[in-house]
Amino acid sequence: MNRREPLRIAVIGTGRMGADHVRRIDRVVSGARVTAVVDIDAERAKAVAAGVDGCTAHTDPAAAMAAADVDAVLIASSGPAHEAALLTAFEHDLPVLCEKPLTPDAASALRVMEAEQALGHRRVQVGFMRRYDTEYARLKALLETGRLGRPLMLHNRHRNVASPPFFTSAMLITDSVAHEVDATRWLLGHEITAVTVLRPTPSAGAPEGLTDPQFVVLETDGGALSDVEIFVNCGFGYQVQAEVVCERGTARIGDGHALVTSTAGRWGGTITQDWTERFAQAYDDEIQTWVDTTRRGGITGPSTWDGYAAAAVCEAGVRALESGVRVEVDLVEKPALYR
Ligand SMILES: NC(=O)c1ccc[n+]([C@@H]2O[C@H](COP(=O)([O-])OP(=O)(O)OC[C@H]3O[C@@H](n4cnc5c(N)ncnc54)[C@H](O)[C@@H]3O)[C@@H](O)[C@H]2O)c1
């Protein structure tokens, strides 16, 4: 594809993330427009389509992808619906941006990876948007200079104000820590080989029965350790912080000190309240990069392999959480398409 005209996108899933991506493509990103939206909830799809000129509403992803005025697909439906949407997009050989997780487990991610290989070319960018966050990108660039020496440890903190009612203890790993799994693999350039999950006594602020917080230790094939404090009912804000400890120094991001005020004998700032605020720039750049690259006929960003590896690590993480013991990650050999 080499499109001079705007890229015509079908957005599948018009919940919180999908509706925000529709707004982004319509109002923020250049070179693209939303021509179709799809949701199994017809009213939700209609309400979102009503706000966009020339956008049609559908309840069947396959019908929307078969339409003549669709060049690319953004999948933002719930995780279990991703596999079917991806396989349909492959039938039409459409470029896809698929929100994380690629799929909820390693076996389904492997099926998607096999189907993409059968196409013979990469078609999927997975929505691990932290790779587009300015602070994460600076940290990655610094590590690549080698000035600090070899990374030894990565300390991550991931805190949310409150978890939604449907959140389970396993989802702290599969929905939340999934981001640190990708960040660890990307920043360090290592694969994760084993996961251990430690469980302090749950916070009184967490819903009854939810194992929150958790402390997750990831081991890598490069000999590094990456730990993640995940605390999804901290009550005070949305914080994502990372510190890399290297042989000759450390580097840290996510302190949120963009504006510090000093007045009346005190100093301070504000804490973001959710990811749409903290990662707004990253989402915008992620989608703009996908649109630009797709219009040039290229592909970039986190691949189906990255989505598969994250799913396999999270699956091991859930087993580690449930068993209380260290669980090794079992990855297939990396296919040539992703090397
Ligand atoms: N990158 C990030 O930081 C980030 C943040 C939040 C959510 N997400 C991901 O985005 C996706 C959506 O999350 P959300 O928070 O918007 O959830 P949501 O529940 O608000 O929205 C999901 C929508 O998908 C629709 N849906 C379900 N099955 C469908 C199907 N088969 N076909 C069409 N529509 C279908 C639902 O009706 C709902 O409207 C998930 O994969 C989630 O993990 C990513």
DSSP for 37-103, written as a single string: EE-SSHHHHHHHHHTSTT-EEES-HHHHHHSTT--EEEE-S-GGGHHHHHHHHHHTT--EEEESPSS
Q: Is residue 175 part of a domain?
A: yes
Residue type, 196: T
Domain CATH for 249: 3.30.360.10
- Ligand 1 shell residues, CB under 6 Å: 12-18, 38-41, 44, 61, 76-79, 81, 99-100, 127, 129, 175, 275
Q: Are residues 150 and 108 in the same domain?
A: no
The Å distance, Cα 100 to ligand 1 centre, comes to: 9
Angle (nearest 5°) at CA 145 between 141 and 147: 120
Q: Are residues 119 and 148 in the same domain?
A: no
Contacts of 75 (CB under 8 A, 6+ apart): 12, 13, 81, 82, 85, 86, 89, 96, 97, 98, 99
| Region 7-23 average pLDDT | 97
Domain CATH for 43: 3.40.50.720
Q: Are residues 222 and 121 in the same domain?
A: no
pLDDT for residue 2 is more than 80: no
Which atom of ligand 1 is nearest to 129's Cα? 1
| Mean pLDDT estimate for the chain | 97
Q: Is residue 287 part of a domain?
A: yes
User: For the chain, how many structural domains are there in total?
Assistant: 2
Contacts of 137 (CB under 8 A, 6+ apart): 131
Q: Are residues 110 and 242 in the same domain?
A: no
Q: Are residues 123 and 138 in the same domain?
A: no
Q: Are residues 190 and 322 in the same domain?
A: yes
Q: Is 323 left (phi over 0), alpha (psi -120 to 50) or beta?
A: alpha
Nearest to 138 by CA among 174, 187, 100, 101: 187
pLDDT for residue 1 is more than 70: no
Q: Is residue 330 part of a domain?
A: yes
Q: Is residue 172 part of a domain?
A: yes
Q: Is residue 1 part of a domain?
A: no
Which helix (H) or strand (E) is 10 found in, with range? strand 7-12
Which atom of ligand 1 is nearest to 20's Cα? 16
Q: Is residue 214 part of a domain?
A: yes
The Å distance, Cα 54 to ligand 1 centre, comes to: 23
29-87: per-residue pLDDT in tens? 999 999 999 999 999 999 999 999 999 999 999 999 998 899 999 999 999 999 999 99
Nearest to 88 by CA among 68, 121, 62: 62
> Which residue from 44, 78, 180 has its CB within 8 A of the most atoms of ligand 1, so it is best to mutate?
78
156-174: per-residue pLDDT in tens? 999 999 999 999 999 999 9
Share of the chain above pLDDT 70, in %: 99
Q: Are residues 198 and 185 in the same domain?
A: yes
Per the structure, the complete domain to which residue 48 belongs is given by 7-130+281-303
Phi and psi of 6, rounded to 5°? -60, 145
Q: Is residue 2 part of a domain?
A: no
Q: Are residues 99 and 119 in the same domain?
A: yes
